[in-house]
Amino acid sequence: MKHEDYKEMIALDALDALDGDEEQRRALDAHLAACADCRAELAALRDAAASLVYAAATPSPEAAAPELRARILAAIKSQPQDARHAPTNGVAATASQTSNVSSFDEFEKRREAREIRVGRGLFMFGSLAASIAVAALLVTLALVWQRNNRLQTELARLSETVNQTQQELARTRADRELLAAPEAHTATLAGTKMAERAHARLTFDARTGRAMLMAADLPPAPAGKAYQLWFIAEGKPPMPGRVFQPDARGHAEMHEIIPPEGRTAAIFAVTLEPAGGVSAPTGEMYLKSSAS
Amino acid sequence: MVEAAPQTSPDTELLHAIARGDESALAALYDRYHSILLGLLLRILHSRVEAEDVLQEVFLQIWQRAANFDEARGRAFTWMVTLARSRAIDRLRSLQSRQRADDTALRDAPDNVGDASDDAYHAEQREIVRAALAEIPEEQRRALLLAYFEGLTQSEIAARLGQPLGTVKTRMRSGMSKLRDLLGEKMGRGAGLNF
Q: For residues A57 and B149, is the Cβ–Cβ distance under 8 A?
A: no
DSSP 3-state assignment of B74? coil
- From A176's Cα to the closest Cα of chain B, the distance in A is 6
Rounded Cα gap, residues B142 and B44, in angstroms: 15
Q: Give the nearest chain B residue to A53 (CA atoms).
A: B40
Amino acid letter at B92? L
**Contacts for B177 with CB less than 8 Å, ≥ 6 apart:** A11
**Contacts for A90 with CB less than 8 Å, ≥ 6 apart:** A168
Residues of A in contact with B23 (CB under 8 A): 73, 76-77
For chain B, how many residues are written?
195
Strands A267-274 and A210-216: unpaired
Q: Where are the domains of chain B?
A: 1-113, 117-195
Count of CB atoms situated within 10 Å of the CB of A126: 9
pLDDT in tens, chain A (292 residues): 788 899 999 999 999 999 988 888 899 999 999 999 999 999 999 999 999 999 998 776 655 578 899 999 999 987 888 877 754 444 444 443 334 444 444 545 555 555 555 555 555 546 667 778 788 888 888 888 888 888 888 888 887 777 777 777 777 777 787 888 888 888 889 999 989 899 999 998 877 788 899 999 999 989 889 999 999 887 888 988 888 989 888 899 888 888 777 788 889 999 999 988 888 899 999 999 975 4
Burial per residue of A152-173, b for 16 or more beta-carbon CB atoms within 10 angstroms, e otherwise: eeeeeebeebeeebeebeeebe
Give the domain B117-195 fold.
Arc Repressor Mutant, subunit A (1.10.10)
Give the domain B1-113 fold.
Rna Polymerase Sigma Factor; Chain: A (1.10.1740)
Beta-bridged to residue A211, according to DSSP, are A204, A256
- Optimal mutation site among A38, A53, A60, interface B, most CBs of chain B within 10 A: A53
Looking at the structure, do residues A192 and A249 belong to the same domain, yes or no?
A: yes
A21 and B CB contact within 8 Å:
no
Whether residues B144 and A82 touch (CB distance < 8 A) is answered with no
Secondary structure, 3-state, A149-162: HHHHHHHHHHHHHH
Across the range B34-61, mean pLDDT stands at 95
Q: ipTM of this model?
A: 0.88
Looking at the structure, do residues A131 and A103 belong to the same domain, yes or no?
A: yes
Q: For residues B40 and B80, is the Cβ–Cβ distance under 8 A?
A: no
What are the backbone dihedrals phi and psi of residue A116, each rounded to the nearest 5 degrees, phi first? -65, -45
For chain A, how many residues are written?
292
**Contacts for B5 with CB less than 8 Å, ≥ 6 apart:** none
Q: What is the mean pLDDT of chain B?
A: 85
- Domain with residue A218: its CATH number is 2.60.40
User: Is A10 a member of any domain?
Assistant: yes
Give the count of domains, chain A.
Answer: 3
- From A53's Cα to the closest Cα of chain B, the distance in A is 6
- From B182's Cα to the closest Cα of chain A, the distance in A is 10
Q: For residues A224 and A245, is the Cβ–Cβ distance under 8 A?
A: no
Element containing residue A240 per DSSP (H, E): strand A239-244
Q: For residues B126 and B35, is the Cβ–Cβ distance under 8 A?
A: no
Helices A127-180/A90-97 angle, 10° precision: 120
Q: For residues A254 and A242, is the Cβ–Cβ distance under 8 A?
A: yes
Calculate the CA A208 to chain-centre distance: 13
pLDDT of residue B87: 96
Element containing residue A216 per DSSP (H, E): strand A210-216
Hey, what's the torsion of the CAs at B136, B137, B141, B142, to 10 degrees?
Answer: 160
Rounded Cα gap, residues B6 and B9, in angstroms: 9
Q: Give the nearest chain B residue to A60 (CA atoms).
A: B117
pLDDT in tens, B51-65: 999 999 999 999 999
**Percent of chain B having pLDDT more than 90?**
69
What burial class does residue B174 get, using C-beta atoms within 10 Å of its C-beta: 0-12 exposed, 13-18 middle, 19+ buried?
middle
Which one is predicted more confidently, B153 or B124?
A: B153
Looking at the structure, do residues A175 and A247 belong to the same domain, yes or no?
A: no
Looking at the structure, do residues A196 and A262 belong to the same domain, yes or no?
A: yes
Looking at the structure, do residues A193 and A239 belong to the same domain, yes or no?
A: yes
Rounded Cα gap, residues B125 and B112, in angstroms: 18
Whether residues A48 and B1 touch (CB distance < 8 A) is answered with yes
Which residue, A149, A179, A209, sits at the end of a domain?
A179
Query: Which residue range(s) make up the domain with A276?
Result: 185-289
Looking at the structure, do residues A192 and A278 belong to the same domain, yes or no?
A: yes
Whether residues B81 and A44 touch (CB distance < 8 A) is answered with no
Whether residues A60 and B112 touch (CB distance < 8 A) is answered with yes
Q: For residues B40 and A50, is the Cβ–Cβ distance under 8 A?
A: no
Whether residues B145 and A55 touch (CB distance < 8 A) is answered with yes
Strands A199-204 and A239-244: unpaired
Q: B79's torsion region: left (phi>0), alpha (psi -120 to 50) or beta?
A: alpha
Beta-bridged to residue A255, according to DSSP, are A212
pLDDT in tens, B86-104: 999 999 999 988 775 455 4
Rounded Cα gap, residues A229 and A19, in angstroms: 28
Whether residues B172 and A12 touch (CB distance < 8 A) is answered with yes
pLDDT of residue A121: 53
